[in-house]
Every structure is written in C-alpha cells, then in structure tokens.
A and B are shown apart, each in its own frame.
Chain A
Amino acid sequence: MDWETVIGLEVHVQLGTRTKMFCACRTTFGDPPNTNVCPTCLGLPGALPVPNAEAVRLGVRAAMALGCTVHPASVFARKNYFYPDLPKGYQISQFDQPLATGGRVAFESPQRGRIEVGVTRLHLEEDAGKLLHDRFPGKTAVDLNRAGTPLAEIVSEPDLRTPAEARAYLVTLRQILVYAGVSDCSMERGSLRVDANLSIRRPGAAELGTKAEVKNLNSFANVERALEAERERQIGLAGRGERMAQVTLLFNAGTGEVRPLRSKEESHDYRYFPDPDLPPLVLAPEWIARARAALPELPDARRARFELAFGLAAYDARVLTSEAALAEYYESVVAAGVEPKIAANWVMGDVMTTYNETGAFPVEAGRLASLVALVREGVVSHQAAKRVYTELARSPREVPRAAAERLGLIQVSDQGALAGWVDEVLAAHPAEVARYRGGEAKLMGFFVGQVMKRSQGKADPKGVQPVLQEKLG
C-alpha cells in the first residue's frame, strides 16, 4: 500500500544581536554559567522586559528574505508553562498576531525538481536557558546565560513530502538567512534548531494524518534520518492497523531511533495572552520600506544575475553564490579586471580551497587580478601561478610579481637558456630520441614535459617546442 508523507518544520534561529531580546545582557556563547544574567533574564521580582531594536530589525529582515508579509503591528504574548530553564514561568513569544506571515522558500527537491514551500509565519521570541543533566548526581543544573537570547521562529507549511526534501529546504533556508545577515545559523552552537512534524496519509487524501513531533535534531543529516525513522514507524503502525497517537519524540543520533517523550495533555495548554509589559510592536510604513531597501541581494537573485551578467554556467553560478562572502569576492575579482570565466575558475579552485580551510580570502581581489595578468602576459605559467597563489596567501603584503621572482617562477623564453635545458633532456633520454627520429612524433609532448620539469616550470612552453624541433630535426 502507498503512503504519502507530510512534513512541516519549525526552525528556531538565533538572531545575530550583541544583547538579549529583552535586556542588555550579552549573548556571548560559552561564558561561565550564569554570568550573562541580570534582573530581567533571571526573572527577578519587579524586573521588566524592553525589546531590542536590532532583534526586531533582523527579524523583519529574515521575514522579508523569506517573502513574508511584515505586519505593521504585532503583539508579544506570554506562553505559560513551568520548566527549570524558563525563569519567569512564561516565555515571551508572539501568538495570534505574529511579526510576519505568508512567505515561501523555493529550492530544488531531490524528488520533485524545483518547488516552493510555504512559510506560515515568522515570529520573535526569547530563548530559554540550558539544562545539564549529567554534571551533578541526581541533580539538573541550570545555566541562564542563554535565557532571553532573541530567536525568530520560522514555521513552514506542511508542504514537504520526503525527508530528503526537508533537508533540502533547511539547506536553502539556512543559506537565505546567512545571506541576509540574520544569523550565523550554526547547529553546533545551537543558533539554528529544528523541530519536525510528520504524518502519513493515503495519496490524494485531503485530510492530514495524526502527526508526530520530532525534537532534538542536531544536524540536517539527522533531520533526514530521524524523519525516515519516523516515517517507517508510522507506516509500520498503519500496516498493523494500529492507531497513531499524537506524540512528541526525541531522536537518538546514536541508535538512529526515535523515542516517545512522556506526554501530558495539560502541558499543551499554554494560556497565551498579550504581555501587559509590552505594548504592541508597531512598525511605521517608512521603517518597513527602509528595511526592505536595506535587504541584501538573496541567493536566487544573485545566481540569476551571475548567469546573465557574467555568462556563467548554471552550476558555476550556483557554486559562486552559495555563500554571500564567496559571491562578493568573486564580483570584486571581476571588478578588478579578470575575465569572468577565468575568475570563476580561480575562485572555484584555489580560492575556494583556501576559504574552506580558513574561512578567509587572504589574497585580495587586486592581487589575484595581477596574478592572472601575469599568466595572460606569459610572465608565469598557469602551473607556476598556482604556486605563486599559495605563496601570496601566506604573505599578505607581497605583490604577485615579486613572489614569482622570489620563487624563481618567471617564465624563461631566452633561446640560450631553453637550448641548455633541451640539450640536457636529449642527453638524458637517448632511447626516446632514437624512437622520435624513427618516426614516433608523439614523443614531442614527452620532451616538452621533461624540459618543463627540468626548468621547474620556468620554461616558456611556447618557446620550448621550436628549440626541440630544431635540435631533433
């Protein structure tokens, strides 16, 4: 029997602010426990919240990047529940009047090609603290440094149909948010967290099946694995004719299994109501317009522009726009005068290798352009240029020509020098010389290669062949 899988994702993204959502404590990661705390984020008696303007700005930017409608008025609400990591006994979130609704994310589905997934809503809220269960015997330890960190919660429509598609959505979502400068979206540091809802139904059914929520997904790969496990579990239940209970599950990355959490019906009665400490968040139309104007170019638009403006292949454009920093570097190399396709080869080659290793572009665009010019002018060979690049990455102030000279990589086209290397090569390979003279013309390539090798790449390959022909003729 066939089943259709229906998946929706809730993504929490930490907004890249210096201070918390409702107080001026730092959001620094990894400080000693309970050091970035104040009356407000400790929930002390009498303390009050005041929202962070930058968090609002970044939330609005995220919403715009995801094509959402940003509402001119939204309301902070209290979500009431008890938990030791929640200092006030309620989380300040947004409920029936969120910051933004109705967006979409377009991406390549591994199964369905290019699709669009709806973004139901994006709202602002504060994070909870952190609990450590294994540090003190019989105790749970509470660290409130993270409590109050600003988050955007991004809820997708249940438009995803496979675990792999869910993963592809997440990759695109992260790319957009990082591009827009909203968040660093690091799952390792917890600045991007995913909860997934999954249900199954008969293909063509209009109703959604009973859904399960899967939590504790700490990588995109694990989102896919957990959803696959949960899909199998539900299909198994359905096959045995068992009823699906609405359940919350934890994914165990070690075993690849999902395990139900103990569930209590009242834990879902959050008694939301507007937070009386916070009047509505009102965004003037001019403010929204300015925010829209300040929105950076997003991956899709940039990719299209790269294909059109630089004549790049679709694949190259996709790679070069995969990250904003990479795309910007590429554009600056082109702006420095390098022909777009040659620039693409460089950036996708050596530059990207360095970037992936170091996260930086140590050879600024101007220096790379000079290096490319040396190749074009025949001053260094392409092979030698790659060595010069490595050297330039190590010595930030050296100009390409000086580096090439220091390394002795300037191409030699002087006839005397070339003749010397040719003589040495011919003397070292008498057998090949005999075979060439016996009619094996294809050995010319071999001799050129040997001369390049002997000259340590310095010989101008265009000058080598005539000398060889003369000496062998």
Chain B
Amino acid sequence: MSIGRDEVVHVARLAELAVHDADLDRLVEQLNRIVDYVAQLDRVPGDGAGELFLPGPREVALREDVPGPVPLTRPPGELAPEFADGFFLVPRHGAMEEP
C-alpha cells in the first residue's frame, strides 16, 4: 500500500495541519516509508478480528455523582489566547459545517 499526495493532503486536512506545498513531496516520501514499514503486520496470520487488548483494568471504575471537580489554580481566562466577558473567542465561523 502506498499513500499518494492527495491522500496526504486529505489526512492533513482531517488533522487540521497546514502542509506547505514545498514540504509535501518529502512528507509523502516519509509517510510512505512509515506505512510500508508497518504494513509488515500483514504477515501476521489472522483476519484482523480479535479482542481489544487491555493493558490495565478489565473494566472501568465509576465515580459517584458528587460535585467536586479538580480545582483550577488559575481561571480559564488566564490560559486562553483570546478571552472576553467569560468566553473563549475564535474567529466567526457561522458557515463552518456542522459536525
């Protein structure tokens, strides 16, 4: 399997990463090396189905419904690149597609 330029552009868009045209060929080459390398997993017999491997607990531990979050030593406004009247701000994007 190999990844083409279009596919790299598509994946970069899914990941919201700006890729400059000048870097694209090199990136395509590197990603192909990585993907070709991991493709050796094909050689392991098996149809790909199988149990999820869990390194830790077998089942999730639940939390009681009691308020008491981990407190913030500094409020959100001190972390944010742009903040006003209690809100985080981003460029207007009314036309952006809904998820």
> Which of A's residues lie within 8 Å of B, judged by CB?
17-19, 23-26, 32-35, 37-42, 44, 47, 50-56, 73, 75-76, 81-84, 86, 132-133, 135-136, 138-144, 215, 248, 261-264, 266-267, 269, 271, 274, 278-282
Contacts and interface: CB of A to CB of B under 8 A. Distances in A.
Given A215-B98, A274-B52, A142 B60 contact: no
A38 B70 contact: yes
B66 A140 contact: no
B76 A37 contact: yes
Interface in B28-71: 52, 54, 56-71
B97 A261 contact: yes
Given A19-B67, A248-B98, A50 B87 contact: no
11 contacts: A19-B69, A24-B70, A34-B87, A47-B70, A52-B65, A143-B86, A144-B88, A215-B98, A266-B13, A267-B99, A279-B56
A462 B65 CA distance: 61
A262 B89 contact: no
B87 A19 contact: no
A271 to B, nearest CB: 7
Contacts of B54: 279-280
A19 B62 CA distance: 13
B55 to A, nearest CB: 9
B65 A17 contact: yes
Interface of B: 10, 13-14, 16, 52, 54, 56-72, 76-77, 79, 82, 84-99
A140 B67 CA distance: 29
Contact of A54 (B16, B65, B72): B65
B76 A42 contact: yes
Contact of A140 (B70, B91, B98): B91
A25 B89 contact: no
Contacts, number: 142
A53 B62 CA distance: 5
B95 A83 contact: no
B62 A52 contact: yes
B52 A23 contact: no
A306 B73 CA distance: 57
Interface centre among B59, B65, B85, B93 (most CB of A within 10 A): B65
A139 B92 contact: yes
Contacts of B61: 50
Given A18-B65, A56-B62, A274-B52, A81 B99 contact: yes
Given A39-B72, A84-B93, A142 B88 contact: yes
Contacts of B98: 215, 248, 261
Contacts of B65: 17-19, 52-55
A-B pairs, top 4 by smallest CB distance, nearest first, are A38-B69, A54-B65, A141-B87, A282-B59
Given A19-B66, A51-B62, A269-B14, A33 B97 contact: no
B63 A281 contact: no
B70 A84 contact: no
A215 B61 CA distance: 35
A53 B64 contact: yes
Nearest to A143: B87
A352 B65 CA distance: 34
Contacts of B84: 136, 141
B71 A138 contact: no
A136 B89 contact: yes
Contacts of B94: 133, 140
Given A33-B87, A50-B63, A143-B86, A264 B14 contact: no
Contacts of A271: 14
B65 to A, nearest CB: 4
Nearest to A262: B97
Contact of B10 (A33, A84, A248, A266): A266
Given A132-B87, A215-B98, A261-B97, 13 more contacts: A25-B67, A26-B67, A33-B86, A34-B77, A39-B69, A51-B60, A53-B65, A75-B52, A140-B91, A143-B86, A267-B97, A279-B54, A279-B60
Interface centre among A17, A73, A75, A141 (most CB of B within 10 A): A141
Contacts of B67: 18-19, 24-26
B78 to A, nearest CB: 12
